[in-house]
Structure 1
Amino acid sequence: MRLVQITDAHLHADIDARSRAGVPWEHFQQVLAAVMAERPDIIVFTGDISQDETPASYTLAKEAMTALPCPWFWLPGNHDQVELMRAEHPLLDEVDMQQWRMLMLNTQVAGQPHGELGSERLMALTEQLEADDRPTVIAMHHPPVEVGAAWMDAIGLQDREAFWQVLSAYPQVKMVLFGHAHQAHAQHFEVGESRIGVYGCPAMSDQFMPGAEAFAIDEASRPGYRVVDLSGEQWETWVERVDV
């Protein structure tokens, strides 16, 4: 099974609106075209669909995504309006991927750039993991690990230690996919008896400078997406970049 992750489109109602390093709508279309060529079975969009938080920005995204040849799912980022998303396309907590499943975590803290799960969401995650021991992918917006850029690490998942404490009891969790960082990231995080793959994804819009102390755009980098091939309880994953 092939899962493709896209993230951080930062769309505007105005399709000609510019970001710091390009036109988000143009980048979005070009990345989607490249994703389509990967022949994915499932696509997950890990947040920050919109930049201006308008109904029209979500309509643009939904209409473009509807042309994809496979099921797709999304979750909110810190810039998103949950009710506007839900009005266009369902927000699910879980996706059945046959031998695998994917849990979709909402890490949004309304009005804040950082993320948090909180006690209720962590309890719900525990209940989900108790209910099914199939190999599991967790998708979320905010990084649950440090990515090496000081300013970004300050606005990642604030209760990451509690998150990893929950996962320590459930070895069926094999990987975590996140957005928000606007850069590729890959590491293995050891918790309990597990060694969990933790992966960040290039944005569909502007790329952020790896290792930066303060906010900085990486103008030399390109938008992209992450491919995850699942087979049995094993996986392979890599990042593809798109010329824009």
Structure 2
Amino acid sequence: MRLIQVTDCHLHADPQAPCRTGIPHRQLERVVAAVARLRPDAVLVTGDVSEDRTAASYALAEQVLGRLDCPWFWLPGNHDDPGLMAECRPFQASLDLDGWRVLLLDTQVVGEEAGEVGEARLAALADRLAGGDRPTLLAMHHPPLAVGSAWLDELGLVDAAAFWDCLAGHDHVQAVLCGHIHQAFVGRGPDGVPVYGCPATSDQFLAGAETFTVDEASRPGFRVLDLHGGELATWVERVEL
């Protein structure tokens, strides 16, 4: 079973609108073409699909992602309008992938760049985790731990401690996938659960930077996850523009 993560597209209503290092729509097209060549069984987009929160930007994303020969799913990021996203394509709370579960968490706080799961969603997550012991991935936009960039770490998950408390004792949680940080990243939570960040399809952020810095040398990319039995193998692919 092959799952591919795509994130942080930052599309505008105008497909020719630029980001800092390129054209987001064109870059998403290149990324999706590269993803398709790896023949995934499912694709997950972990937020910040839009930059301008317009229905047209989500329609563009759906048009490009619709070229995939597999199911695809998305969740909102801090830049997104969840209502418009859901009108374009409904959200899914979980995915069943050949013996694996993927639980999708909404961490958006309206009007804020930082994220939060919140008490109600944490309670629901606890119930879902207790509902089975299949190998499980959690997917969210905001990273639930520091990534080593001071400015990004101020914009992470504000209730990260409560999130990790919720996961305690659930050994079937194999990894957490996040967007938001626009870079490849591997870290571990308090109980050793791996946390994987993913390159953006738009601009890349410089790892370890104290202040906002675009990494002009890095290319857009995506994360591949191969799930076999209870084992997970993952790596990042970059895309030539």
Report what 1:60 is aligned to. Answer: 60
For 2:132 and 2:63, locate their aligned partners in 1 and report how far apart those are by CA, in whole Å: 33
CA–CA distance in structure 2, aligned partners of residues 107 and 169 of structure 1: 22
User: Unaligned regions of 5+ residues in structure 2, if any?
Assistant: none
Once the two structures are superposed, residues 153-201 of structure 1 have per-residue CA deviations (whole angstroms, 9 ceiling, x without a partner) of: 000001001000110121110000000000000123341xxx3121000
Matched with 1:185 is: 185
Which amino acid in the other structure matches residue 237 of structure 1?
T
Rounded to whole Å, the distance in 2 between the matches of 1:153 and 1:132 is 32
Write out the 4+ residue segments of structure 1 that deviate beyond 6 Å after TM superposition: none
* Corresponding residue number in structure 2 for 1:22: 22
Establish whether residue 133 from structure 1 lines up as the match of residue 133 from structure 2: yes
Matched with 1:198 is 195
Match of 1:226 in 2: 223
Is structure 2 residue 207 aligned with structure 1 residue 213? Answer: no
Aligned equivalents of 1:197, 1:129: Cα separation in 2: 17
Corresponding residue for 2:162?
Answer: 162
Mapped partners of 1:62, 1:85: distance in 2: 10
Provide the secondary structure at the position in 2 that maps to 1:229.
strand
Q: Determine whether 1:32 maps to 2:35.
A: no
- In the alignment, structure 1 segments of 5+ residues that lack a partner are none
CA distance in 2, matches of 1:69, 1:132: 30
Question: 2:178 & 2:145 partners in 1: Cα distance?
Answer: 10
1:89, CA displacement in angstroms?
Answer: 0.8
SS of 2:44 mapped into structure 1: strand
What does residue 44 of structure 2 align with? 44
TM-score, normalised by the number of residues in structure 2: 0.99
In structure 2, the residue corresponding to 1:73 is in which secondary structure? strand
Q: Which residue of 1 aligns with 2:91?
A: 91
SS of the residue 1:143 aligns to? coil
Q: Which residue identity lines up with residue 172 of structure 1 in the other structure? A: H
Q: Deviations over 1:114-164 (max 9, x none)?
A: 000110010010010111211000000000011100000000001001000
The residue type equivalent to 2:214 in the other structure is I
Report percent identity of matched pairs: 53
In 1, the alpha carbon distance for the partners of 2:161 and 2:138 equals: 16
TM-score, normalised relative to structure 1: 0.97
Q: Which amino acid aligns with 2:77?
A: G
CA contact (8 A) 2:164 2:190 kept: no
Alpha-carbon distance in structure 2 between the residues aligned to 1:91 and 1:176: 19
| Structure 2 letter corresponding to 1:33 | A
Q: Distance in 2 between matches of 1:188 and 1:123?
A: 23
Deviations 1:42-96 (A, max 9, x none): 1000000000100000001111111211111100000000010001111011111
Match of 1:88, as an amino acid? C
Counterpart secondary structure, 2:193: strand
Distance 1:66 1:25 in 2: 14
In the TM superposition, residue 212 of structure 1 has moved relative to its aligned partner by 0.6
SS of the aligned residue for 2:78 comes to coil
In the alignment, which residue of structure 2 is the partner of 1:121?
121
Distance 1:173 1:212 in 2: 30
Q: Is the 8 A contact 2:2 2:227 kept in 1?
A: yes
CA distance in 1: counterparts of 2:159 and 2:6, whole angstroms: 24
Task: Report if aligned partners of 2:164, 2:189 keep a CA contact under 8 Å in 1.
Answer: no
State the match for 2:232 in structure 1.
235
Amino acid at match of 1:27: Q
Question: Is 2:147–2:187's contact at 8 Å kept on the other side of the alignment?
Answer: no
